[in-house]
Amino acid sequence: MKNDGRRLSHETSETIRRMAVRRVREGERPSAVIQSYGLCRTSIYRWLRAERRGGDKALKARKHPGRKPALSAQQKLQVRRWISGRDPRQYGFDFGLWTRQIVAELIEQKFGIRLGVTAVGRLLAELDITPQKPLRRAYERDPVAIEQWQQKVFPRLRARAKRLGAKVFFLDEAGVRSDQVLGRSWGLRGQTPEVPTSGQRQSVNAISAVTARGEFWFDHAT
């Protein structure tokens, strides 16, 4: 039974080469030696020629270079910069969340290199980029106004409340209805399916407020 030498470790391959060459030097026939290891018959002759030209060092195991990476180190860092702190819409995509498919399309557009989604997943892991649930930020946010309110307006408001012995509450309100929202279902063409639901409608309007120390107040109406 023949063995596939490519599946052997570097250390094992090197040991076999050294032992096989030594046995031939000691008088054994090359064909018999290589057959005892179950390897390709021509391998022993390559080893013998290498040993004659370069000595024992020529039999030392060499690390295989492996497949050349599709992207260079500089290109990988560029991909990291594209994704970090940005979203796909800034590069002309319609979707605001990064997916492996979108990253693959961006790489193909910029570098002309086509990668599969599995390869992109390995690349993102190498770049320490993980799937995360994004925070929602409204377009209407005004960072300057927020900073001014935090640094100037609220401190004055808090100081005034302290002078008056009052408390500062942050208030919000919401409305909830019991109507069942139906989505789409499957049915025969021309025969709209019916789904039994309650005809009664109930609603609750709630208002609540909380202080910076966690004091809570609420009220509701039906």
pLDDT digits 0-9 by tens, 156-178: 999 999 999 999 999 988 887 77
The tokens describing 134, both together, are 């994004």
pLDDT at 79 over 50: yes
> What is residue 114's predicted lDDT score, i.e. its pLDDT?
93
Q: What is the pLDDT of residue 8?
A: 65
Instruction: Provide the pLDDT for residue 61.
Output: 64
The pLDDT of residue 7 is above 80: no
Bridge partners, 176 (sequence order)? 204
Percent of the residues in the chain that have a pLDDT greater than 90, as a whole number: 23
Does pTM surpass 0.75?
no
> 100 with 116: CB under 8 angstroms?
no
The residue among 201 and 71 whose pLDDT is bigger is 71
